[in-house]
Amino acid sequence: MDYQEVIELVKEAGAFVYDEKLRASVNLKGEADFVTAVDLRISQYLKAELSARFPEIGFMSEEEAGEIAENRWILDPIDGTTNLVYGYNMSSVSLALCLGGQIVFGVIHNPFNGDTFVAERGKGVTLNGDKLDKAPDRELKNCLIEFGAGSTRKQYADIAFSVAKEIFKNCLDIRRICSSALAVAYVAAGRLNGYFEKVLKPWDYAAATLMLEECGAVCSDWQGNPVPFDRSSSFVCGTPKAYEFLLEKVREADKLIG
C-alpha cells in the first residue's frame, strides 16, 4: 500500500476547514456535542477516495454508522470540533488502518499549523517528515499532562478534576488543548508526557496509539487492559513514569468517585 498517497488524501481533506460556508453550518448532536459540515464533508470525501482505491478495506468514522469490518480505516474527520467552531485552531484529522485487530498505520494532521504525524508499524513515527526519537521519560516533577474532561459527559467531571488536582500538585503543569488525537500524538512527540480521559471513542485514539507504541510510550484503559478499536473505552497513556502515576490516580478516583 502506498501510504504517502493516503497521507496526501488526509491533507487534502483537512483543507475543508478553510471553507467558510462549511464551517458556518453547525448543528448539535447532543449537549455540547457539535458537528459541522466540515466534519461531514471530510468523512464523505475520505470514504469515497479510500473506498475507490482500497475497496477491500472497510470504513469506520465518527460520522458514519454501519457494520464494523475486521479490516478497516478508522477516521475522526475533525477531532476538536468545538475548537473548530470557536476558531481555536487546535483540531485534527485522524485516520488509522486496522488490520486483523491491530493498528498498522496512522496519520494525524492539524490543517491549521500543518503538523502531520505519521506512524507505520515497525518503522517509527515522523512529524512533518522528520523521524521522531523515543519520547523522553521525564521525572514526574518535570511532566506536562493533558486531560480530557468530557464536555459531553459532565457526569464524570468530579473524577477528571480530582485527578487533575493530583497532577497539578505532583507534576510540572496541566494542559487542555481539547483534541485527544493531537494530545496523544504530542505525548509520542515529547510535547506532553501523559493524557487521560474517562470515555473515548476508538476514532479518538486509534492512530495515536501506534505513535505511542513506536515512540516507547504506553497506553491502556483505566484497568490496565489494552484499549479496543471497536467500541468506547476509558483511556490513559504516557511515557513510563507518567503512565504509572496516571494509572494509579485514575484507578483511585474511579473507585472512590465513579
Q: Grade residue 155 by pLDDT with cuts at 50, 70 and 90.
A: confident
- All three cell numbers of 20: 467558510
Taking alpha carbons only, the member of 225, 226, 223, 227 closest to residue 252 is: 223
- All three cell numbers of 162: 480530582
What is the rounded distance in angstroms from the CA atom of residue 51 to the CA atom of residue 45?
10
Residues 229-239, mean pLDDT to the nearest whole number: 96
Q: State yes or no: pLDDT of 214 exceeds 90.
A: yes
Residues 180 and 233 in one domain: yes
Residues 21 and 94 in one domain: yes
The domain boundary residue, chosen from 131, 166, 181: 131
Residues 186 and 124 in one domain: no
Residues 126 and 149 in one domain: no
The boundaries of the domain holding residue 212 are: 140-256
Residues 127 and 218 in one domain: no
Taking alpha carbons only, the member of 229, 207, 204, 235 closest to residue 62 is: 204
Q: Grade residue 24 by pLDDT with cuts at 50, 70 and 90.
A: confident
Q: State yes or no: pLDDT of 95 exceeds 90.
A: yes
* Residue tagged 466534519 (cell numbers): 39
- In the chain, the largest separation of any two C-alpha atoms, in whole Å, equals 51
- Dihedral angle sign, alpha carbons of residues 204, 16, 131, 135: negative
Q: Grade residue 251 by pLDDT with cuts at 50, 70 and 90.
A: very high
Give the tens place of pLDDT for each residue, 161-176: 999 999 999 999 999 9
CB 83 within 8 A of CB 111: no
Give the tens place of pLDDT for each residue, 43-65: 999 999 999 999 999 999 988 76
Please state which of the ranges 27-31, 87-91, 92-96 shows the lowest mean pLDDT: 27-31
Residues 159 and 252 in one domain: yes
pLDDT value at residue 31: 60
The predicted model scores a pTM of 0.94
Sheet order of strands, 233-238 included:
173-175, 144-147, 194-200, 233-238, 218-220
What is the rounded distance in angstroms from the CA atom of residue 135 to the CA atom of residue 258?
31
pLDDT averaged over every residue in the chain: 94
Q: Grade residue 247 by pLDDT with cuts at 50, 70 and 90.
A: very high
Q: Grade residue 257 by pLDDT with cuts at 50, 70 and 90.
A: confident
Q: Grade residue 8 by pLDDT with cuts at 50, 70 and 90.
A: very high
Which H, E and C letters describe 148-197, residue by residue? CCCCCCHHHHHHHHHHHHHHHHHCCEEECCCCHHHHHHHHHHCCCCEEEE
Residues 62 and 84 in one domain: yes
Residues 149 and 127 in one domain: no
Task: Report the CATH number that the domain containing residue 236 is assigned in CATH.
Answer: 3.40.190.80
pLDDT value at residue 258: 63
Residues 6+ apart with CB under 8 A from 32: 82, 151, 152, 154
Residues 214 and 231 in one domain: yes
Residues 147 and 251 in one domain: yes
Percentage of the residues of the chain whose pLDDT score is greater than 90: 84
